Every structure is written in C-alpha cells, then in structure tokens.
C-alpha cells in the first residue's frame, strides 16, 4: 500500500510517497511558482515516477500547506501545523517543540507527549526573518543560497544587522559591503538576526530540551548553528527536514487507509537521517 503527502508551500511544493512500512519510496520538490495546481500535480507525478508507480496506484493522497486545496487529486486536506507536528513527532518521538521556518512564515508548535498540537504561534504578517529574507540576502551578496550558511560560519566578528525586513536588508548589506566589511561577518549578522527573532517567537510558546527544526530554512547550517548558540542546545534536524510537512501529510493518508480497511497500524521505518 502506497500513500502520499503533498505540501504546497508559498515558496516550495513537496511530495512524499510512503510504503506500508513508512519508508520513503518517492519524493519531489519544486518551486511553487504562479501555477499552484500544476506544481502539486508535477511533484506528485515526479514522486510516483521515481517510485516506479502509476498515479492511480497511490491509495490515498493528503494535501497540506497554504495551497492544500489546490491538490485537486487529493482525498483530504490537513493543516500544515498538524502535518509538521505529525512528521516531527514521527521522526523524533520525544520532541515537544517544533520550529518551522519556511519561505514566507515562521511557526512554533508545541505538542503533547502523544504528539497532539497543544499550542502554536506564527509570524505570517510579513516575510521578515524567513526564507525570503535569506533569499534576498543571498542575491544582494551575490552568493548562491546554498552557500550563505556555510560562509557565515567563517566569520571573525558578528556584524549587527538591525533590520530583518526583506525590503531593507539589501541597503543594510550594501552599506556594510561599501565599508569593506567581510562577507562572512555580514552573513553571520544576517543569520544571527533571524535566530534572535526566531528564539523570541519560540519563547512565546515555550522552550524544551528537545526541539525539532523543520522547513526549508533548516537546511541552512548557518541558521541552525546560530539558533543552537542562542539556545545553548542542539536541535533535531533531519535530512528530510524540508519534507516533514509532506511526511506528516502522508502519515495522515496512511491513517485514512487503515481506517478504511479497519486494520491496525504499522511500525515506522523512516530514517531519522541525523
């Protein structure tokens, strides 16, 4: 039995296919772009092809993310809060706090020992301190997005970046560059600014010894390291961190199959990947 989760985010659309042992058998990721319905269709088609399957062989599809209702072939929709909680709790059963930094918003979710959502807060009024801010910083610095995190770790001093607004970060970075500041020091300041803002958001929901960091920005080692330094603890970051919402959605799809077949659950066999 194969199930799928399709996470249509504001920036990136992700699909995950799980088999009955909860193993990932297919995955795909692409920019969401303007045609959201098409992005959902394409990642699903790509993930099924990768698994060597036909789309009709997928028993249940659950859509999540801001564009979950655009997963026109989906059987159900579940919010991204529930899906991130489900995916993170599956990979890290002891986690109580999830920090999800995506393309345009940041969420902090507190879950119970049983994995239910207990509380959450989010910054979705503007893209300040989110992936889009980092994307803008990378463009202004002329450094590929994948490299800004590693470069930030080469800092000698942390420059203060006062603005986490995507609109103003460009002029602040350009001013530092004009003063001859080292790119690594500027990037360290950029990453620290996001970490400071994220930790402030986390304090509103509460901290915990086991925090799981999800979303595309968790792939950035500079943010992870700045957060760990600010919090004084290590974070759970899976190799699948950008797919955690899609994994959670696929697990909900699995529940639907089990309910339909009136059968018991299966043991998880996903790699934690850390």
Contact positions toward ligand ADP, by CB under 6 A? 9-12, 65, 102-104, 131-132, 134-135, 145-146, 149, 215-217, 219-220, 242
In angstroms, rounded to a whole number, what is the distance separating the alpha carbons of residues 68 and 11?
13
| Contact (CB, 8 A) for 81 and 120 | yes
Closest to ligand ADP by CB, 158 or 166: 166
* Residue 236, CB-side half-sphere exposure with 13 Å CA sphere: 24
Give least dist CB 222 to ligand ADP, A.
9
DSSP strand pairing (106-111 vs 117-123): antiparallel
β-strand pairing of 58-64 with 24-31: unpaired
Between 212 and 220, name the residue whose CB sits nearer to ligand ADP.
220
Cβ proximity to ligand ADP: between 112 and 136 the closer is 136
Q: How far is the CB of 168 from ligand ADP (least distance, A)?
A: 18
Half-sphere exposure of 49 (CA within 13 A, CB side): 7
Structural tokens at position 107: 């969420």
Closest separation in Å from C-beta 232 to ligand ADP: 23
CB 79 to ligand ADP: min, Å: 13
Rounded to 5 degrees, φ, ψ at 242 are: -75, -15
Could you tell me the smallest distance in angstroms from the CB atom of residue 128 to ligand ADP? 13
Rank residues 26 and 103 by Cβ distance to ligand ADP and give the closer one: 103
CB-count burial class (<10 Å; 0-12, 13-18, 19+) for 159 = buried
Judged by CB, which is closer to ligand ADP: 87, or 261? 87
The total of other beta-carbon atoms located within 10 Å of residue 16's CB is 30
Q: How far is the CB of 7 from ligand ADP (least distance, A)?
A: 6
């Amino acid at each position: 039995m194969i199930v799928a989760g399709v996470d249509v985010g504001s920036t990136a659309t992700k699909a995950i296919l799980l088999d009955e042992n909860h193993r990932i058998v297919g995955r795909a990721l692409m920019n969401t772009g303007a045609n959201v319905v098409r992005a959902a269709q394409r990642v699903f088609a790509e993930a099924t092809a990768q698994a060597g399957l036909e789309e009709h062989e997928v028993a249940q599809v659950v859509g999540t993310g801001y564009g979950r209702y655009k997963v026109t072939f989906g059987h159900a929709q579940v919010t991204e809060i529930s899906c991130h909680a489900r995916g993170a709790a599956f990979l890290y059963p002891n986690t109580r706090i999830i920090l999800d930094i995506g393309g345009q918003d940041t969420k902090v979710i507190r879950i119970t020992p049983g994995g239910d959502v207990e509380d959450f807060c989010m910054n979705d009024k503007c893209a300040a301190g989110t992936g889009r801010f980092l994307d803008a910083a990378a463009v202004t610095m002329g450094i590929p997005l994948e490299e800004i995190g590693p470069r930030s770790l080469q800092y000698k001093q942390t420059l203060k970046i006062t603005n986490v607004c995507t609109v103003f970060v460009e002029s602040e970075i350009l001013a530092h560059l004009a003063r001859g500041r080292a790119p690594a020091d500027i990037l360290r300041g950029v990453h620290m600014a996001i970490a400071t803002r994220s930790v402030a958001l986390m304090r509103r929901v509460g901290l915990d010894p086991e925090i799981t960091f999800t979303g595309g920005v968790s792939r950035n080692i500079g943010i992870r390291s700045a957060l760990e330094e600010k919090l004084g603890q290590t974070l759970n970051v899976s190799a699948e961190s950008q797919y955690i919402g899609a994994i959670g959605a696929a697990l909900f799809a699995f529940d639907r199959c089990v309910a339909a077949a009136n059968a018991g659950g299966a043991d998880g066999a996903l790699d934690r990947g850390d």
